[in-house]
Amino acid sequence: MNTIRMPIRFSKQTFEMETIDENSDEYYATLVANAIQIESKELPISTYFGVIDPVFDERQTNRTISDASRYIPEITIRKVTTNLNDDGTRNISVSFERG
Amino acid sequence: MASPNFSQYINLTVSDLNVVDIYDDSVEYAQTNLPEFNPRVGTIENAILEATAYQTNNIVTSINRLPDGLMEGVLSLMGFSRIEATQASGTVTIELIINTGSTILSGTTFSFDVYDAEGVLTQYLFETDEDLTIASGSTTGTVSVTASEASQYPDIPVPSALTVVSSTPFILNATLATLSTVGQDTETDAEYFNRGVTYLSSLSSAITTASQMTSYIAVNYPTVSKFKVYDLTEVLENYVTNAVLSTNVVTLTTASAHGYETGDSVTVRDMANAVYNGTYTVTGTPTTTTFTYAKTNTNITSAAVAAGSVVLATGMLFSTADSGGNVTVSMCDSAGDPISDEQKTIIKADLSSRVVAGLNINLQDTNTFNVDVVVSIAVEPNYSTSVVGTAVSDAIESYLSVTGWDWAESVDARYLTTIASKVTGVKYVDSVDATLNGATVFASNDSLNVTILEKGAIPIGSCTTTAV
């Protein structure tokens, strides 16, 4: 099933909430991004889902993303790169393959 | 627990749905409009649903605690409180291995150890209430102890050896010398609210119905374990304190005003001199506490009477017409023994002060009679005939007892069949026959049943079960 696009947007033409098509690259990218941002036991029912917060430990980044990919068996993580910005924030880029 | 059993509290909890139930219901509801709706874990839809289900569960749980909380608040405002757990207490005698004196500190812990059939140990802990100083030259001393936790302990026999739990030197042994109280458990929510309902239903400045009186006695007189309120019934039971037979006229003196009139039929029971016993017609009422009846016999000199009672003969018969303005309470304790005269006087005065004007309160001791029951059953394969037979006998004897009797007007073989049928292992009940054991005025045999003639009479059963 399609999933809601975050941040939430509405179509100018149909005024419907925009969604991401299931099985699209963006769909899996959204799942990876969500999985990285949800900590274990954060969801009240699916307590198994999520990863350890990697924010302050760069060395764990690869492992964290590897853990996150376990919840999305349709993809394989190929590459993770991090980039420290001047303002102290860190961008993480995840490359994956479907199949 | 006083009888009859009240279980009238309606639990106002709507439904304690858990988080998963709410989530599943939400998905199911969504699928009625969107059949393809199947949120995947990790998507925003699923996260929103789980978060909503969690918060809804919190709200449901909070709301469902409100009715009981409000009910407890209302009962508290009316001065009706929960029965809280209390601690067992007693005394412990301690023997030292030295005779040079020692002090056992307050808080020293001892345990009474119980092993069950599987070897599992249960410890009942006691702590000393104060320091115990055993003087030089002596080796023993006794100190009061209290259970470590508030709950009901078993009725520990005394003396019983205790285990010293605290690391305390010089103690050779410790013995539970006395057990003052075994303590009690906190009543459960169900017990508390059922008791509260009974209490509320008894509240009235005037008792006007039999059910109100039933509730009132149940709440206020727990020692009256078994009782039945009979509306429109006049028993006028009284105790005989003096008796004399002169020129074929008996004059009995009663403990309190008898209320009889000339022409009333009375039954005299349990007199040591059996000459007085029987059913007679009152021939005169010289005073409010004396009455006479005819009895052809040699004279018996006037003498105080220690045992014996007189009752209006027809007052308690089921067949007697309703007696307007009269209520009779038939009562006994948990063993079926009469309630003490002092207690009955208090109860009667209390009830009389609460009933509407013109209503007479009469108290009567319950009576018992013996019933033999013979049951024939078929037992399911793989069940022990003797075990099932014993269980059937126990179930029927439990019903035909002081605590189990439901105040029916007969010992009905069909109902006994129902009781026997419910016992595990019974394939079918072949026959049931109930008959009186011994002569009694309280009941009569009626084919397979026993018909009870008098109100306030309890059958005591002895059941024999055989297998076909």
Q: Spell B251-266 as b/e; 16+ CB within 10 A means b.
A: bbbbbeebbbeeebeb
> Is B371 in contact with B338 (CB distance < 8 Å)?
no
Kindly determine whether residue B41 and residue A71, on different chains, have CB atoms separated by under 8 Å: yes
> What integer pLDDT is reported at residue A92 of this predicted model?
84
Q: Is B59 on the interface with A (CB under 8 A)?
A: no
* Model confidence pLDDT, tens digit, residues A80-98: 888 888 998 888 888 999 8
Q: Is B35 on the interface with A (CB under 8 A)?
A: no
Site from A3, A45, A49, A71 to mutate, B interface, most B CB atoms within 10 angstroms: A45
Kindly determine whether residue A34 and residue B54, on different chains, have CB atoms separated by under 8 Å: no
Task: Using the structure block, give the residue that is written with the tokens 């059993």.
Answer: B5
Q: Is B44 on the interface with A (CB under 8 A)?
A: yes
* Model confidence pLDDT, tens digit, residues A22-49: 989 999 999 998 998 888 888 999 999 9
Nearest 10 degrees: Cα torsion B308, B312, B318, B322: -150
Q: How far apart are CA B429 and CA B421, in angstroms?
A: 6
Closest-CA distance of chain B to residue A99, Å: 19
Q: Which residues of B touch A1 (CB under 8 A)?
A: 36-40
Closest-CA distance of chain A to residue B85, Å: 37
Q: What is the DSSP string of B398-459?
A: HHSSTTT----SEE-HHHHHHHHHTSTTEEEEEEEEEEEES--SSEEEETTEEEE-BTTEEE
Kindly determine whether residue A49 and residue B41, on different chains, have CB atoms separated by under 8 Å: yes
Alpha helices, H only, B34-170: 44-77
pTM of the model: 0.51
Kindly determine whether residue B36 and residue A1, on different chains, have CB atoms separated by under 8 Å: yes
Kindly determine whether residue B50 and residue A4, on different chains, have CB atoms separated by under 8 Å: no
Kindly determine whether residue A31 and residue B37, on different chains, have CB atoms separated by under 8 Å: no
> What integer pLDDT is reported at residue B2 of this predicted model?
45
> What integer pLDDT is reported at residue B386 of this predicted model?
92
Q: Which residues of A touch B43 (CB under 8 A)?
A: 3-4, 30-31, 34
Write out residues in chain B with pLDDT < 70, as ranges: 1-9, 204-205, 236
> Is B298 in contact with B218 (CB distance < 8 Å)?
no
Kindly determine whether residue B42 and residue A35, on different chains, have CB atoms separated by under 8 Å: yes
A and B: number of Cβ contacts within 8 A: 47
> What integer pLDDT is reported at residue A55 of this predicted model?
66
The partner residue sitting opposite B43, judged by closest CB among A34, A44, A45, is A34
Closest-CA distance of chain A to residue B60, Å: 16
Q: Quick one: how far is CA B48 from the chain centroid?
A: 54
- If DSSP codes are grouped into helix, strand and coil, which group holds residue B353? helix
Amino acid identity, residue B462? S
Closest-CA distance of chain B to residue A86, Å: 31
The partner residue sitting opposite B37, judged by closest CB among A1, A4, A34, is A1
- In chain A, whose CA is at the least distance from the CA of B18? A45
- Name the phi and psi angles at B120, rounded to 5: -80, 130
- Name the phi and psi angles at B138, rounded to 5: -115, 155
What is the token pair recorded at A82? 């991090």
- Which residues are within 8 A (CB) of A88 and not within 5 positions of it... i.e. 6 or more apart? none
Kindly determine whether residue B19 and residue A44, on different chains, have CB atoms separated by under 8 Å: yes
What is the token pair recorded at A57? 């430990």
What is the token pair recorded at B249? 């006229």
Closest-CA distance of chain B to residue A77, Å: 17
Neighbouring-strand partners of residue B134: B102
* Model confidence pLDDT, tens digit, residues B45-90: 999 999 999 999 999 988 888 888 888 898 899 888 888 899 999 9
Site from A16, A43, A72, A74 to mutate, B interface, most B CB atoms within 10 angstroms: A43
Residue A54: band (very low, low, confident or very high) from pLDDT cuts 50, 70, 90: low
The complex scores an ipTM of 0.86
Q: Which residues of A touch B42 (CB under 8 A)?
A: 31, 34-35, 38, 49, 71-72
Q: What angle do CA B354, B359, B360 make, to 5 degrees?
A: 95
Closest-CA distance of chain A to residue B11, Å: 29
Q: How far apart are CA B421 and CA B163, in angstroms?
A: 48
The partner residue sitting opposite A44, judged by closest CB among B39, B44, B54, is B54
Q: Which residues of B touch A72 (CB under 8 A)?
A: 42
Closest-CA distance of chain A to residue B51, Å: 7
Q: Is the pLDDT of residue A7 over 60?
A: yes
Closest CA to A30 of A54, A2, A66, A11: A2
The partner residue sitting opposite B51, judged by closest CB among A30, A31, A44, is A44
